[in-house]
Copies of this chain bind each other. A is one copy, B any other.
Amino acid sequence: MTQKLTAKPIIKQIYSNLIFEIEKFHLSPKLVIIIIGDDPASLYYIQNLEKKGNKVGIAVETKKLPASISMKILLNEIERLNKDGTVHGIMIQKPLPSHINESEIIMKLDPKKDMDAFHPLNIGNLVLNKEGFVPCTPAAVLEILSFYNIATEGKNIVIIGRSNIVGKPLANLLLRKSKTGNATVTICHSKTSNLKNVTRKADILIAAIGKALFVHSDMIKYNAIIIDVGVNQVEDAEKGYKYVGDVDYENCFEKASAITPVPGGVGSVTTAMLLKNVLIACKNLS
């Protein structure tokens, strides 16, 4: 019987812990999200985040800036938030207008308030196994593996996707000498020859390519554990659109021994990990 690795019980546990710790230590953690322009999906995401933050006692403030904002003003705004002692986490929502230099903005962020952990110092610390923030999506994958007691030591883990925010940090984390590490890690991508040959050897397959329903049952081995990081918007006859993963869930379900659904899988845990990062930042800065 295939196990459905749902986010629900994980989130419940994380949110309970957050509430407990925030009350116990009388903390007032605060996250500021900078959003530039009016992307409707972003606004929806942030509203949702505000609600979740309020539930656990984390203030989520949205700083809406016009799409025409200059780099100079934006950098000043980040500098102001870096210095603001009541702000513990800063997140810059994407997409960004084309005139905004993302790299320069990230470098301006105080690494101690960098909730996405995109600053090179945080990525470097992650690789070197030093203290620092872990990007939320890779952190969510580890959280799922840990919660469901999925052993990684000595396992062949194949990651499809080499992005800076998922594939690469995740590979480095899975190599760590830790409970969710010690795996033999392979990273595949668009240039991999004979992808199927590689993915079929995975004890644990992690799909993070951003291509809807890309992984089919012929790409996985029997009893593989499938972690689906993808969230792709596709057309839907009834609702107009819906979200699906990088994995064809229905098609792979029977063959896998365990699989994360989309929605209700990695994405939902990712949001919880973001709020957890805010609490960590608050404790570090207090």
Query: A residues within 8 Å of B by Cβ?
Result: 103, 119-125, 127-130, 132, 153-156, 162, 164, 168-169, 171-172, 175, 182-189, 191-193, 198
Contact = CB atoms under 8 A, between A and B. Distances in A.
B175 A184 contact: no
A186 B189 contact: no
A175 B153 contact: no
Q: How many copies does the complex hold?
A: 2
A124 B120 contact: yes
A79 to B, nearest CB: 19
Contact of A175 (B103, B155, B162, B183): B162
A127 B184 contact: no
A172 B168 contact: yes
29 contacts: A120-B121, A120-B130, A121-B124, A122-B124, A123-B124, A123-B127, A124-B124, A124-B125, A124-B127, A127-B127, A127-B169, A127-B172, A129-B164, A153-B191, A154-B192, A162-B175, A168-B172, A168-B175, A172-B172, A175-B189, A182-B189, A182-B191, A183-B191, A184-B186, A184-B188, A184-B192, A185-B186, A185-B187, A186-B186
A142 B156 CA distance: 26
Contacts of A128: 120, 123, 164
Contacts of A169: 127
Contacts of A164: 127-129
Given A182-B189, A184-B189, 11 more contacts: A119-B124, A120-B128, A121-B121, A123-B123, A127-B168, A154-B192, A156-B198, A162-B175, A172-B172, A175-B189, A184-B192
